[in-house]
Amino acid sequence: MGRWLGWIVAAALALASLPASGGTLREDVRAWRLKNEKAVVGELADLVAIPNVADKVEDIDRNAEAVSALLARRGLKTKILSAGPGTPASVFGELKTPGARRTVVFYAHMDGQPAPRAGWFSEPFTAVMREGLPREGAPDIDWRAHQGPMNPEWRLYGRSTSDDKGPIVALMAALDAVRASGRKPSVNIKVFIEGEEEAGSPHLAKILAENRELLKADAWILLDGPVHQTRAPQVLFGARGVSEVEMTVYGPLRPLHDGHYGNWAPNPGVMLAHLIARMRGEDGRILIPGFGDGVRPLTPAEERALAALPPVEEQLRRDLALGRTETDERLLNAISRPSINLRGVAAGGVGEAANNAVPTEARASIDFRLVPDQTPQKVRERFEAWLRAEGWHIVYEAPTPEVRAAHPKLIRLDWNLGYAAVRTDMDLPVSKAVIASVERGAGRPPLVVPMLGGSVPMHFFAELGAPVLLVPMVNHDNNQHAVNENLRLQNLWDGIEIYAALIADLRW
């Protein structure tokens, strides 16, 4: 009750006291936002309503059309970029600022992770407002009928509310707010909205290479990933890379009664369990010999930046009901190393679907998180060499019965090679300017993080030659990539203020 009262009073005071323009940039942006909350949320809800899994090219095309319209409404010249027919579109936009010396490209992505319905409390592609963390039976809030400022602890639920459509809509709102305040941008603005980031950006390199001139800039600022777990704003100077592989291990050609055949016919689930256990420890360590050779260590400055970050570990352990962590290191240190993540495993059936049968195959989906200077190709080579040393015969498509019969240990690999990691120098002028601008936009100094644990395709942009930084806005507890993804409204509001500062108040 106290908290509710607090923000209602604060919002009322803000509404009453703030002019639409005439204050600081931050004050003006906030005043604009308080009057336009419904329009901003509405724009995001409309965008979420367009399904956006990158393997459906026609869905991404519909997203591209909608995003282009958002940019055009803010006066940007837009262009659809594509690597060719049948590949998902990306959207480019440009807004020139007379007299500006610097050009910044703002990057976000409009595609999202797959969203099978199971486990979601409502349809993934229908944005629904609820208060707080995901909770079965939490009532939907009719925000369209709501009067006055919205409760900032409300969250908008739906695939890509946070990852990564929320930041697109925040950037649009920031442009509107800057304009409404009578200011103009301090830099030339380019916008690049990718259509297949969650699919590992398979055509990004081609699109960037074919549009080098169009995308020429002095810096790239990526709007993706979450703010700090303490809800503090942050600027990140890098991100891990990622490679994914689907593994299939084979048992008998048809399911067999496990009582009649179970000690004799090989059980692919057991083979896969042994493989996983030999690959990765319960402490998170990669057990593949030589896998981390040639990894670039953190610099002393990066180590210091990590050490300066506020501790989050105890709070997270409580929030997540963790009985242990895989390592005693700080979280950020743990995710600055290369890693193997088991994303899923499936064989036979469990619970209601369990049968007394030896399954015909067992599957596991893993990702490798890469740090500088690992490359996806090298990761693949080392992983496959290790598998062969362990006695596995590798194939890349469904094996025939003859191939299955010929190899005692047979594994199918389906690679999504992904991209490498980046760490940008924190001492560059642009690095310092972005930190200062975010501080003005947020009203407090951002945390400075050498490298994000998650992966964003900074690598492709870094190869164009300009420095690449990451300025996130969404809440850390957004269920990104999982069921019940959501965006906390206060993070949306903060994001608008920070991005407005990057638009109108970034100078170096």
Judged by CB under 8 A, the chain residues 402 through 441 that form the site for its own copies are 402, 404-410
Shorter beta-carbon distance to its own copies: residue 20 or 270: 270
Does residue 137 belong to the site contacting its own copies (CB under 8 A)? Answer: no
**In angstroms, what is the minimal distance from the CB of 446 to its own copies?**
17
Position 114, amino acid: P
> Is residue 287 a contact point for its own copies (CB under 8 A)?
no
Choose between 79 and 393: whose C-beta lies nearer to its own copies. Answer: 393
Enter the DSSP assignment of 138.
Answer: P
Residue 81 tokens read as 């970029």
Provide, rounded to whole angstroms, the least separation between the CB of residue 255 and its own copies.
3
Binding track, positions 368-397, relative to its own copies; x by CB under 8 A: -x----------------------------
Rounded distance, CA 24 to CA 47, Å?
31
Residues 25-64 that bind its own copies (CB under 8 A): none
Single residue of 263, 396, 397, 427 touching its own copies by CB under 8 A: 263
Cβ proximity to its own copies: between 5 and 321 the closer is: 321
Tokens of 290: 């030589």
Q: Which two tokens stand for residue 9?
A: 């009073």
Cβ-in-10-Å burial (0-12, 13-18, 19+) of 343 comes to exposed
Q: Which amino acid is at 110?
A: M
254 binds its own copies (CB under 8 A): yes
Contact 363, 345 (CB under 8 A): yes
For residues 234 and 470, give the distance between their C-alpha atoms in angstroms, rounded to a whole number: 8
Piece of 143-151, 206-214, 215-223, 479-487 that binds its own copies (CB under 8 A): 479-487
Cβ closer to its own copies: 20 or 334? 334
Query: Which helix (H) or strand (E) segment is 413 a member of?
Result: strand 410-419
Stretches 87-95, 120-128, 280-288, 424-432: which one binds its own copies (CB under 8 A)?
Answer: 280-288
Encoded tokens for 267: 């059980």
For 154, the 3-state DSSP assignment is strand
CA distance 458 to 467: 10
Site for its own copies (CB under 8 A): which residue of 347, 462, 470, 500?
A: 347
Q: Record the tokens describing residue 22, joined without a space.
A: 């005439």
Tell which one of 73, 257, 304, 507 touches its own copies (CB under 8 A).
257
C-alpha 239/C-alpha 354 separation (Å) is 41
The least CB distance from residue 322 to its own copies, in Å, is 6
Q: Which residues, 67 to 96, sit near its own copies by CB under 8 A?
A: none
Compute the least distance from the CB of residue 226 to its own copies, in Å.
7
Instruction: Determine, following the binding rule CB under 8 A, whether residue 480 of this chain makes contact with its own copies.
Output: yes
**331 makes contact with its own copies (CB under 8 A):** yes
C-alpha 74/C-alpha 171 separation (Å) is 10
Least separation in angstroms between CB 440 and its own copies: 27
Determine the Cα–Cα distance for residues 411 and 431; give it in Å rounded to an integer: 45
Using CB under 8 A as the binding rule, whether residue 261 contacts its own copies is answered as yes
Residue 277 contacts its own copies per CB under 8 A: yes
In the complex, what is the shortest distance from the CB of residue 314 to its own copies, in angstroms, rounded to a whole number? Answer: 11
Range in contact with its own copies (rule: CB under 8 A) among 264-272, 290-298, 431-439, 489-497 = 264-272
**In this structure, are residues 330 and 306 in contact, taking their beta carbons and an 8 Å threshold?**
yes
Please give the Cα distance from 32 to 275 (Å, whole number): 56
Q: Which of 23, 42, 202, 284 binds its own copies (CB under 8 A)?
A: 284
CA pair distance 129, 374, nearest whole angstrom: 41
The binder of its own copies chosen from 56, 96, 317, 444 (CB under 8 A): 317
Q: Does 201 bind its own copies (CB under 8 A)?
A: no
Strands 238-239 and 422-423: antiparallel
Rg for the chain, CA atoms, rounded: 24
- The CB-of-24 to its own copies minimum distance in angstroms stands at 33
d(CA 372, CA 468): 15
